[in-house]
Amino acid sequence: MKRLILLGVMAFVVACSMDRSPTDPMDAAHARHGTAALTGGNVSPDYMQRIVETCTDTWGWSCSGDYGLGSPWDEPIYSACTEDPTSCEFLGGGEAMANPVDVMPEPTLYDAVDIAAPNCNNPQTQMEQLWCTGRVPSPGERSLIASALQRMSNKSGTCAVMAAVGQALLNNNMIHLFARNTYTPDFGGGASMNQGSAGWMLLSDYWPDVAFDMRHPAIQTDAQNVTHTRTLQQVLAHEIDHLRGQSHTDYYGYDTPNSQACSDAP
Q: Which amino acid is at 38?
A: L
Angle of CA points 153, 157, 161, to nearest 5°: 60
Among the ranges given (59-63, 70-74, 177-181, 235-239), the one the predictor scored with the smallest mean pLDDT: 59-63
Q: Name the pLDDT band for 169 (thresholds 50, 70, 90).
A: very high
Q: How far is CA 103 from CA 98, 213, 218, 219, in A?
A: 10, 17, 9, 11
Spatial distance between the Cα atoms of 32 and 83, rounded to a whole number of angstroms: 7
First to last CA, the chain: 30
Q: Name the pLDDT band for 106 (thresholds 50, 70, 90).
A: confident
Phi and psi at 71, nearest 5°, equal -70, 145
Q: Name the pLDDT band for 79 (thresholds 50, 70, 90).
A: low
Q: What is the mean pLDDT of residues 21-37?
A: 27
| Inter-residue contact 212 to 148 (CB < 8 Å) | yes
Phi and psi at 14, nearest 5°, equal -120, 135
| Inter-residue contact 216 to 89 (CB < 8 Å) | yes
| Inter-residue contact 129 to 158 (CB < 8 Å) | no
- pLDDT value at residue 91: 67
pLDDT for residue 92 is more than 80: no
Of 93 and 130, the one with more pLDDT: 130
Q: Name the pLDDT band for 224 (thresholds 50, 70, 90).
A: confident
pLDDT tens-digit map of 242-262: 999 999 998 888 999 999 999
Provide the 3-class DSSP secondary structure of residue 170. Answer: helix
